[in-house]
Chains A and B, each alone.
Chain A
Amino acid sequence: MGSVTATVGPPTDAHVTPWFRTFGAIVAAGFRRHATYRQAAVAGVVTNTVFGFLRCYIFLAATGAAGTVAGYDRAQLGTFVWAGQGLLAVIAIWGWTDLADRIRTGEVAADLLRPVHPVTSYLAVDLGRAGFAALARLVPPLVVGPLFFAVYLPRHWATVPLFLVSVLLAVVVCFGCRYLVNATAYWLQDVRGPMILWTLGSGVLAGLYFPLGFLPGWLEATLRYATPFPGILQIPLDVLVERESMPTNLGLVGLQVVWAVLLLALCRLVQRRAERRLVVQGG
C-alpha cells in the first residue's frame, strides 16, 4: 500500500470515451440513489408550495396600482416565484453536507483512492440528483402555481431551451459553491459556521427572498457581474420570464458558463491544497 497516498495524483486516462462512460454511470447512480427518497420528495413539494403561496402574495402586494414592479408584471412574478420554488430543490441550494461529513469522519480517504477525481465524481452524483429533482420537485410547483395565480408563458421559441441550459449551468455553479463551502471542513472540521453563512448569503443574493431587481440598479449590476449568486437562481428565472431581450439573456447564460468554469477550477485547486494537509484521524 506504500505507493498510494493522497498526494499522488490519480491515474489520468487518455481515452475520452471510457471517461464519459464512467461519468454517465455515476450520474445514473446519483439519480437512482435520490429516487429512493420518494416520501421526502413529497414532503419537500408541500413545503415549496406553501412558500410559493407566501412569496407570491407578498411580491404581488408590492406591485400596487401600476401592476408592475422592477420590470416584472404580475404574471411574470407568478412564474418567477413558482419556478423558483421548483428550482430550489433542483440546484439543492441548502442542506448538502455529504463532503463535509466525509471529511470530518475520515471517509473521504476512500474518495481519494478512487480513479476518478473527487470534484468530478461528486459533480456527477449531483447531476444525477438534479435530474431526479427536475422530475419530482420542479414539475409540481409549475403545475400548482398556475391553478391559483396568473403566470407568464414564454413567447420566444428559444426561451425554453435556453432556460433548460441555464438550469443545468445553475446546478453546476451551485455545486461549485457548495463544494467550496464543504471543503472548508479540511481546515475547520466543523462547517456549521460557513454553512450558515452560505445558507443566508445564497438565499438573499441569489434572488430567492426577493427578485434582485428590487434592489437599487447599481447593487443589482454588481451582484450580477461580480458574484456567482444570481447564476444559481435569478438568471434562469429571468430567462424564463423574458425580463430582458434575447441577446441579453444569451449574455447572462454566457456569464453562468464563465462562473461554472471558474468555480470548478477553484474546486480542483482547493481540493489539491487540502489533500496536501489532510490527516485522516484514527485507524
Chain B
Amino acid sequence: MEVRGALRAYRSLLGAQARSQAAYRTSFVVDLVGNLGATVFDVVTVLVIFGVTRELGGFTLRETLVVVGLSSCAFAAADLLVGNIERLPRYVRTGLFDAVLVRPLAALPQLLLMDLPLRKVSRAVFGLAVLLYALASAGIDWTPGRVALAVVAPPAGVVFFASVFVTTATVSFYWVDSGEMANSVTYGGRDFTSYPITVYGGWFRALFAYGMGFAFVSYHPALALLGRADPLGLPSWVGWASPGVAFVAATVAALAWRVGIRHYRSTGS
C-alpha cells in the first residue's frame, strides 16, 4: 500500500511535468530539435577535426566514431534520466529543496521527476543511432564475447555518467554558489570520453581516465570491440571492466548523496 501510494505520487509528478512542458507547444518542438542539435554538433565537431587530420592520437575516423558513439549514447541517456540534478544548486539556493525534503517521498526521485526533460529524448535516440552506425561500419570481427560487450558497455556508461551527475551535484550541499563547476566533470567528462585518451597527456589524462574512471566509459570498451591493443599498455580484458567500474561509481554516488543530504542546511531563504 505504502509503495503503491508512492508510485502513484511519482506518476502524477511525471504527468504534471509532461503536461506543463507540452503547454508551450512551439517551444517544446524547438527544444526537441535543439537538444538533438547538441549531440549532432558533438559528432560534427569530431568530423570537422578529422577534416584537417587523417588520424587523432593514432586512431582513424571509423575507430574514433566507436568511441564517440559509446560516449554520446551513454551521456545522452544519463542526461535524460538524471541530468536535471544539475539544478540542485538552484534548489538549495532558493530554498525549494526544503519543500522537497518535507514531503513524504524520497528526495532524489522527486528532484528527478520534478523536471524530467522529455525534450532530451531526441538526444538519446540520436546517440544510440551514432553508436549503431559506428559499430556497423567499423569492420568489427564479431564474436559472442564482443556482442555481449556491445550490449553491456552502453548501459554501464549510462550508470557511470548518472553517478557522476549525482556525485558532482552534491557539492552544492557544501558550497551553495558552486554554480557551473559540476559542468567541468559532467560535460567535461562527455568531451573527454568522445576522443581516444591517447589524445590527452600527462597528469590530466591520468586524473580523468583512471582517477575518475572515464577511460572505462568508451575508450577501453572500444579497444576491446575493435580488437586493438592499448597503445598505453593496459591488457585487453580491461575493456570488460566497465560494468564493475560503473558499479563502484554508483556506490560512491549513493554514499555522497547520503552524506551530502545529512550535511544539508537550509539557506533560510
Interface residues of A (CB under 8 A from B): 37, 39-40, 43-44, 46-47, 49-51, 53-54, 57-59, 61-64, 69-70, 148, 188-194, 196-197, 199-200, 203-204, 209-210, 214-216
| Residue B98 CB within 8 A of the other chain | no
Q: How far is the CA of A57 from the CA of B56 in the complex (A)?
A: 11
- Whether the Cβ atoms of A46 and B52 lie closer than 8 Å is no
Pair count A-B, CB < 8 A: 114
- Whether the Cβ atoms of B52 and A44 lie closer than 8 Å is no
- Of the candidate stretches B31-39, B146-154, B236-244, the one touching chain A is B31-39
Interface core residue of B41, B44, B48 (most chain A CB under 10 Å): B48
- Whether the Cβ atoms of B183 and A47 lie closer than 8 Å is yes
Q: A58-B195, A62-B56 are in contact. Are A40 and B49 (CB under 8 A)?
A: no
Q: Is the interface of B mostly helix, strand, loop or mixed?
A: helix
Interface residues of B (CB under 8 A from A): 24, 26-31, 34-35, 37-38, 41, 44-45, 48-49, 51-57, 175, 177-181, 183-185, 188, 191-192, 195, 199-202, 204
- Whether the Cβ atoms of B52 and A51 lie closer than 8 Å is no
Known pairs A194-B30, A196-B38 / 19 extra A-B pairs, C-beta < 8 Å: A39-B179, A43-B181, A44-B179, A49-B184, A50-B185, A51-B188, A53-B200, A54-B188, A54-B200, A58-B199, A61-B195, A61-B199, A192-B31, A193-B34, A196-B31, A196-B34, A200-B34, A210-B45, A216-B51
Q: A58-B195, A188-B26, A209-B45 are in contact. Are A53 and B31 (CB under 8 A)?
A: no
Interface core residue of A199, A203, A210, A216 (most chain B CB under 10 Å): A210
* Contacting residues, chain A, for B181 (C-beta < 8 A): 43-44, 46-47
Q: A44-B179, A62-B49 are in contact. Are A54 and B191 (CB under 8 A)?
A: yes
Interface core residue of B28, B41, B56, B179 (most chain A CB under 10 Å): B179
- Whether the Cβ atoms of B52 and A62 lie closer than 8 Å is yes
- Whether the Cβ atoms of B53 and A39 lie closer than 8 Å is no
Q: How far is the CA of A199 from the CA of B183 in the complex (A)?
A: 15
Interface core residue of A47, A50, A64, A148 (most chain B CB under 10 Å): A50
A187's nearest neighbour on chain B, judged by CB, is: B26
- Whether the Cβ atoms of A190 and B27 lie closer than 8 Å is yes
Q: How far is the CA of A53 from the CA of B53 in the complex (A)?
A: 20
* Contacting residues, chain B, for A197 (C-beta < 8 A): 30, 34, 37
Nearest-CB distance from A175 to chain B (Å)? 20
B202's nearest neighbour on chain A, judged by CB, is: A148
- Whether the Cβ atoms of B52 and A193 lie closer than 8 Å is no
- Whether the Cβ atoms of A190 and B178 lie closer than 8 Å is no
Q: A58-B199, A200-B34, A204-B44 are in contact. Are A47 and B180 (CB under 8 A)?
A: yes
Interface core residue of B53, B175, B185 (most chain A CB under 10 Å): B53
**Candidates A148, A189, A191, A214; contact of B48 at CB < 8 Å:** A214
- Whether the Cβ atoms of A50 and B188 lie closer than 8 Å is yes
Q: How far is the CA of A197 from the CA of B29 in the complex (A)?
A: 12
Q: A193-B31, A200-B34 are in contact. Are A215 and B24 (CB under 8 A)?
A: no
